[in-house]
Amino acid sequence: MSKSENTRAGIQKELNKEKLSNLSVAALKYDKNKQDAPCVVAAGTGYVAQKILQVAIENGVAIYHDDSAATLLAKLELGQEIPPELYQIVVNIYISLLELAEDNKKIK
């Protein structure tokens, strides 16, 4: 099982046992030609958060697990660009996802 598959399996397992009221997620998108910073395209807590994660898993979207980051990002308005004070959180997310993509290349 690849690291990516293992991560997805772990997240799915957590979804099944996690109390929905504690779950927060945020989905980000970045288009350097249209935006100065990534923006929030989906966010929610509880049941909505679970559904966002399920859609991401079903569609092979990369997932980064950080409860604190998710809580902060989920408080932003949909379509809102990430404010400068949260840039470091987003940098950490992107670095982690780039490392995961690199690991997946090595496995194939």
pTM: 0.74
Q: Note the pLDDT of residue 100.
A: 85
Q: pLDDT tens digits for 4-25?
A: 555 556 665 655 555 666 889 9
Which residues, in sequence order, are bridge partners of residue 45?
24
Q: Note the pLDDT of residue 62.
A: 85
Q: Note the pLDDT of residue 40.
A: 95
- Report CA-CA distances (Å) from 5 to 2, 11, 58, 96: 5, 10, 12, 15
Share of the chain above pLDDT 90, in %: 50
- Please name each of the domains of the chain with its CATH number: 3-107 (3.40.1690.10)
Q: pLDDT tens digits for 58-94?
A: 998 888 888 899 999 989 999 999 999 999 999 999 9
pLDDT > 50? residue 2: no
